[in-house]
Structure 1
Amino acid sequence: MAIRFGTSGWRAVISDEFTFNNVKRVAQAIAEFIKSTGGNQVIVARDTRFMTERYAQIVSEVMAGNGIKVLLPENPTPTPVVSFAIRSLELSGGINITASHNPPEYCGIKFNPSNGAPAAPDTTKKIEDIIDKIEPDKIHAMSLSKASNEGLFEIIDPKPQYIKALSEIVDFERIKAGGLRVICDLLYGAAINYLDELCQNLCADCNVVHNYRNAYFGGDRPEPDEDRLREYSTLVRDGGWDIVIATDGDADRFGIMDDTGSYVKPNEIIALLAHHLYVNKNMIGPVARSISTSHAVDAVASEFNQASLETPVGFKYLANMILSENAVIAGEESGGLSIQNHTP
């Protein structure tokens, strides 16, 4: 069975193609790729999907069996935090067990190399070529108890350092002063204990929704799109809420509803944030968007005499614009974005 990476990692249906044996194959291939680059330490994280603890254990055992040290967060971890940990701890890469916004019967593996960005096509092609050649008896694994004794396994908590770094680029005190009333929908995903804690600490009133693990995601995809957020429209208008903020299964996509109960499209949010970064943060540089994203952000960049960069669909291409072109903001219509001084 050929395993191929898509726009963001490898995703497949659990117990169909996403099996223990295939997870081991992918993990072994990533381990061999990491070693070929001279790497020796990774973070292995997961979202809230069915059996992600077990899959993360399998991946960790294969990494350790190949002499690669594993840093394992104890709790589900947002994808941006994985990227942050790779860069801040100077790791060789990160492996995230997640199928992002896909339906609950799916699981997946995302790989980010040492730059913290989603793996580029040339990297995933190398990993795919290794997978195709792997024989079952060539997969190396080590129990985590043995790995721990040999210094190849460690439980970590990346949250405190990530929140501290976030406070250095986001004006927490300004948000507190705003007295906002926020509905925070975590969609049962990896943002639990991250986004909800931030909103509770920074906002005057916070209604946290779906802040517990449900591997079925309430019977739908964990996608914070207009259809999923429509249920809040009347509540927002009648209850005087200022904003609804939602995230997808691995917390790298957003959904926003304003104080009128209207869904605000990611295209508009990206343009608004670009204007904010130019005006209030005095950032300089181009903007980047995928080919399927509206040109609204281009108009903002033009007002500040900055260029607009267009990429194929997939955040791996946008991340490269932050790294190579120092883009002020990079975003796509599906609700993924990052900014110049955050993780790619």
Structure 2
Amino acid sequence: MEWKEHYQRWMNFEQLESTLKQQLQNLNDTEQEEAFHKPISFGTGGMRGELGPGINRMNVYTIRKAAKGLALHIEEKGEEWKRKGVVVAHDPRHMSKSFALEIAKVMGVHGIKTYLFTDIRPTPLLSFAVRHLKTANGVMITASHNPPEYNGFKVYNEDGGQLPLEPSEELMELVKSVDNELNIPVLSEQELNAQNLLKWLEDEVDQAYLKKLESMAYDHDMPKDDLNIVFTPLHGTATSLVERGLKQQGFTNLTLVKEQVIADPNFTTVASPNPEEHQAFTKAIEYGEEVLADLLIATDPDADRLGVAVKDNENEYQVLTGNQLGALLLDYILRHEQFNQGVMVKTIVTSEMGRAIAKSYGVETQDVLTGFKFISEKIKQFESTHEKQFVFGYEESYGCLIKPFARDKDAVQATVMTAEMAAYWNKQGYTLYEALQQLYRKHGYYLEDLHSVKLAGLAGQEKINQMLQDFKQINELNVDGLKLQYKEDYSTLKRTNVETNEEETIQLPKTNAIKFIFDQNSWCCLRPSGTEPKIKFYFAVKGETEQEAQDKLQSLKETILNLVKVEV
């Protein structure tokens, strides 16, 4: 069916929800095509897109279609799986609460019970809830740190991890099999209650999670009142669990950024609710300077990503990168805990500094594709074979997991552990910034950077695809001070030695990414975002000194970005 036929089908649907009907009538030709040219699809973070009318948008009908597909997926597994039910959580975004209830209404038609939280909850709590309640699946309604016009539908398996590739593909086939998203039958909330197919969750899962959180502490007796913390949830879900988690560990010197504690779907006080972007710390820095805070902490709206700012040697707040915080946490964990055949897991675009730290403690490192579901898959594999022990998992995009009682990146865990780590280093007479400098002096100056090029719309997607194809043809790159050694094409799973042209197979699933590996622990990688209309350029170098690393990084960035005529 052509996109115009889909558009007319919606226009002619008399029962179309009134707000969507009005929005539909206001679309111009280009907007109509973009909203109807293809069904919304799953990426590394599940189904995510702009709110609005159309089969390529997030709305009540595409939510119902996704929920219908999930119900069919559960039915295929049999009656036992239907009895397990589904747990659904949501963030404060526009339509999140109503989308969560719509899932329950669809599940009810299939006799599948839904557990729904009465209020907003973080993504890691949803992951934990799947395991705690032993449900067949979980769904998180969130678009994480995307702009306010976005929302999403993330599916979790019975292990609490995001749905892996094969089940995700199977689910999408079932979703595609749903003929007409406009006519999916649903039960009313009253019917759900009458048939005992809806259970509202209040605080019971939170309490169970907090007990697990408390058990993470390495030093319960260490003085913590001296550590002065400022925290912002960036208008999201983390306030309650973070505040309670810190206080039960003894961190009482806590200041909340009151303007950003408000669960605001428009994220009014920030240009972007993303702790990866330094502007998100503007308010926290104001508070920090006022109360003389040692540690500034920011979580994204669904509380799976954590950003941290600490004082540098000039007494100015510096926002740590995800790679830097991950390195600090890994080192702190390995200082305090022994592992039997321990493995640290990171993504292919995460700093090699973690590998160096892990090696210094006798811990193995394994790489996975970008997307935390691949890390959770590794944890499940380790548990099933009993041959390896999970130590820590992280990715450069500010996400990590310390203890696997959740199976997605967990900013609540990371917040509590970061606070304990800061208190530990304070006791030794160092700030976190100084602790990081110690790691650099010991392991080398690993520096990384990320540059994103946003290319929206159908034309933008074509440019992204062409850009990747062009880079895949490159076998020579002249970068001052660096020699190209290998090219890794993850779409073909071929690792090529550019000097000898010898090839070997990459033991990972296929994905659309290309990586260039230079000598001296330097590399760059290109991959399209799985959830946004942009392509990401990752850069990483190592130097003997900070200046040497900065020079290498600048040279690498200039060389690569000049090829696509992008300003550094």
Matched, 1:49 2:65: no
2:262 to 198, 205, 212: 212
Per the TM alignment, residue 271 of structure 1 is displaced from its structure 2 partner at its CA by: 1.6
In the other structure, the counterpart of 2:228 is 181
Q: Within 5 Å, which residues of 2 pair with 1:1-344?
A: 1-16=38-53, 17-38=57-78, 39-40=81-82, 41-136=85-180, 139-157=184-202, 158-171=205-218, 173-174=220-221, 177-200=224-247, 202-209=250-257, 210-218=260-268, 220-225=271-276, 226-233=278-285, 235-237=287-289, 239-260=291-312, 261-284=317-340, 285-325=342-382, 326-344=389-407
Q: Aligned partner of 1:22: which letter?
A: T
Q: Report Cα offsets for 1:223-279 as digits up to 9, x if no partner.
A: 112332255446535642110111111100000011341111111211221122222
Alignment RMSD (CA, Å):
2.0
Given that residues 40 and 49 in structure 2 are in contact (C-alpha distance below 8 angstroms), is that contact kept between their aligned partners in structure 1? no
State the alpha-carbon separation in 2 of the partners of residues 162 and 340 from structure 1.
Answer: 12
Residue 319 and residue 194 in structure 1: after superposition, are their counterparts in 2 closer, same or farther (change >3 A)? same
What is the CA–CA distance in structure 2 between the aligned matches of 1:138 and 1:20, rounded to whole Å? 11
Give the 3 Å change call, closer, same or farther, for CA 176–59 of structure 1 in structure 2.
Answer: farther
Provide the rounded CA distance (Å) in 2 between the counterparts of 1:172 and 1:214.
36
Following TM superposition, by how much is the alpha carbon of 1:195 offset from its aligned partner in structure 2, in angstroms?
A: 1.3
Check whether the contact 1:65–1:142 (CA below 8 A) recurs between aligned residues.
Answer: yes
Identity of aligned residues (%): 26
Report which of the two structures shows the higher radius of gyration computed on alpha carbons. Answer: 2
Deviations 1:261-302 (A, max 9, x none): 111111121122112222213234111111111011101110
Range moving further from structure 2, 18-27 or 236-245:
236-245
CA 1:235–1:187: 2 relative to 1, 3 Å: closer
Q: Which letter does structure 2 place at the counterpart of 1:190?
A: T
Structure 2: distance between partners of 1:23 and 1:172: 45
Alpha carbons of structure 1 residues 150 and 49: separation in structure 2 relative to 1, 3 Å = same
8 Å contact 1:188–1:212 — kept in the other structure? yes
Shift of residue 141, structure 1, vs aligned partner = 1.9
> Cα distance, 1:3 vs. partner?
2.5
Unaligned runs of 5+ in 2: 1-37, 383-388, 408-568
SS of residue matched to 1:122: helix
3-state secondary structure, aligned to 1:262:
strand
| Superposed displacement of residue 86, structure 1 | 0.7
Please say which of residues 226-235 and 307-316 is displaced more in the overlay: 226-235
- Give, in whole Å, the separation in 2 of the partners of 1:153 and 1:197: 28
Query: Aligned letter for 1:329?
Result: F
Higher alpha-carbon deviation: 141-150 or 243-252: 141-150
With 91-100 and 202-211 compared, the bigger mean Cα shift is at 202-211
Compute the displacement of 1:32 (Å). 1.0
1: CA distance between counterparts of 2:404 and 2:333? 11
Secondary structure at 1:190 match in 2: coil
Amino acid of the structure 2 residue aligned with 1:180: L
User: Residue 94 and residue 176 in structure 1: after superposition, are their counterparts in 2 closer, same or farther (change >3 A)?
Assistant: farther
Q: How many residues align?
A: 344
8 Å contact 1:28–1:140 — kept in the other structure?
A: no
Counterpart amino acid of residue 35 in structure 1: E
Q: CA deviation at 1:175?
A: 6.5
Contact residue 184 and residue 199 of structure 1 kept, 8 A? no
2:256 aligned counterpart, secondary structure: strand
* Higher RCO (Cα < 8 Å, 6 or more apart): 1
2:256 counterpart letter in structure 1: V
- TM-score, normalised relative to structure 1: 0.94
- TM-aligned CA deviation for residue 171 of structure 1: 5.0
Equivalent position amino acid for 2:201 in 1: I
- Rounded to whole Å, the distance in 2 between the matches of 1:280 and 1:172 is 9
Instruction: Report the 3-state secondary structure (helix = DSSP H, G, I; strand = E; otherwise coil) of the residue aligned with 2:401.
Output: strand
Contact 2:136 2:158 in 1 (8 A): yes
CA distance, structure 2, for counterparts of residue 259 and residue 299 of structure 1 = 25
Residue type at the aligned position of 1:211: V
Moved more, 214-223 or 199-208: 199-208
Q: Which runs of 5+ in 1 are unaligned?
A: none
Where does residue 477 of structure 2 map in the other structure?
none
Q: 1:271, 1:182 → 2: CA distance?
A: 21
Higher deviation after alignment, 97-106 or 317-326: 317-326
- Contact kept in structure 1, 2:232 and 2:284, CA below 8 Å: no
